[in-house]
Amino acid sequence: MKTMTKGAVALPLNEILAGDCIDVMNALPENSVDLIFADPPYNLQLRGDLVRPDNSKVDAVDDEWDQFASFAVYDKFTRAWLKAARRLLKPNGAIWVIGSYHNIFRVGAALQDQGFWILNDVVWRKSNPMPNFRGKRFTNAHETMIWAGKGENAKYTFNYEALKALNEGIQMRSDWVLPICTGHERLKDDAGDKAHPTQKPESLLHRILVGSTNPGDVVLDPFFGTGTTGAVAKMLGRDFIGIEREEAYRKVATKRIANVRRFDRDALQTTTSKRAEPRVPFGQLVERGMLRPGENLYSMNNRHKAKVRADGTLIGDDIKGSIHQVGAHLEGAPSCNGWTYWCFKREGKTVPIDVLRQQIRSEMAN
Ligand SMILES: C[S@@+](CC[C@H](N)C(=O)[O-])C[C@H]1O[C@@H](n2cnc3c(N)ncnc32)[C@H](O)[C@@H]1O
């Protein structure tokens, strides 16, 4: 078992803790986890059996753990676990809570009342939802996830570039179309029935963990169920803490996670923000002799050229200034990224100046 000591109390990493999540969380050290993913009871309030048109019974969530006597009882429970969860979060930590129309509005209000700062609500649109058998309401085809920082000023993790890369270069939106958990991913018990009624798809947790944690972060899930959070955390090189009060689910989750293979180090590297990379002034290329004063730079489209000056500025026919200013002027554009616009010539080859910047950055990283 891997543990991390926080104050006097050890943080049990990559373990499934048994018991009521409020008691268990209250016994863990405060300010110790980076992210919480919570899939709490939905309080579905099902009245009687749900049947299909052919009279077969729908395998609905009617378990004891999802039963609450009233909204007031559910709200009291929600406020208690959120309070315990908030205490555990590091100052820059964040929480995701998933729910349906039955509970998510109540959870949203409780989150705000406790001082969490809502960052987004993300709609998980199910590409293969269960139909509405009675035909009396819309097909319930989505769930809502609330993503909130510990407080208004928390510097939460948001891997914008990695999410954009995951979405083929397009900014990730707040509506995610992903299938519900079926097929080989759906865990079965010895009788071949679903091992858990609300097992979440790994794709959902993959997106959440890639987008809002980094390798080595600690992710806590107080309603662990079959351990979807733990399985994906392990794959992605994050540490997890699971809490689950039902022994049968803990057993399923333990077996599942033992069979998960962690991706190798290279696979865990994700696209980072260019803005996070160290700044290299163009003048440094001149100071270090990578480019010589008097040398010509050529625009990427080969239509313009400008001369490098000793102070790291450029001079063109009727303009002088930074690589960005001269590029923008020559293109008649409001702005220009000089690093991707200008090239130099070496041994008959045209080379973007950004190559030299990357060379300096890799030296800085070593
Ligand atoms: C909605 S399910 C979570 C399913 C999970 N996300 C998955 O993918 O398998 C909620 C789980 O929380 C557990 N649970 C409910 N109340 C709890 C409590 N007070 N403390 C600990 N676990 C609890 C239930 O036994 C159930 O497995």
Residue from 16, 26, 65, 97 whose mutation best tests the ligand 1 pocket (most atoms within 8 A of CB) = 65
Mean pLDDT of 349-362: 91
Residue having the nearest C-alpha atom to atom 5 of ligand 1: 225
Q: Atom of ligand 1 at shortest distance to CA of 221?
A: 6
Over range 39-54, report the average pLDDT. Answer: 74
Per-residue pLDDT at 59: 64
Q: Dump the DSSP string for 249-311.
A: HHHHHHHHHHTPPPPPHHHH-----GGGSPP--HHHHHHTTSS-TT-EEEETTSS-EEEE-TT
Sign of the CA dihedral with 191 first, then 196, 201, and 205 last: negative
Tell me if 249 CB under 6 Å of ligand 1: yes
Q: Which atom of ligand 1 is nearest to the CA of 181?
A: 8
Given a cut of 90, is residue 203 above it in pLDDT? Answer: yes
From 220, 223, 251, mutation site for ligand 1 pocket: most ligand atoms within 8 A of C-beta? 223
What is the pLDDT, as a whole number, of residue 45? 67
Instruction: Write down the pLDDT at residue 51.
Output: 61
Say if ligand 1 is within 6 A of residue 244 CB: yes
Q: Interior CA angle at 184 toward 35 and 39, to 5°?
A: 30
DSSP strand pairing (33-38 vs 89-99): parallel
Summarize the confidence of residues 15-33 as an average pLDDT.
98
Please check the confidence at residue 27 and state whether its pLDDT lies above 60. yes
pLDDT digits (tens, 9 = 90+) for 64-105: 887 898 999 999 999 999 999 999 999 999 999 999 999 999
Dist. CA 39 → ligand 1 center (Å):
7
98 Cβ neighbours under 8 A, 6+ residues apart: 37, 38, 39, 104, 124, 143, 144, 145, 200, 204
Q: Tens digit of pLDDT for each residue in 142-177?
A: 999 999 999 999 999 999 999 999 988 899 999 999
pLDDT digits (tens, 9 = 90+) for 223-260: 999 999 999 999 999 999 999 999 999 999 999 999 99
Identity (one letter) of the amino acid at 176? W
Whole-model pTM above 0.85?
no
Q: 28-37, 51-60, 261-270, 307-316: lowest mean pLDDT where?
A: 51-60
CA 327 to ligand 1 center in whole angstroms? 57
The pLDDT value given to residue 8: 57
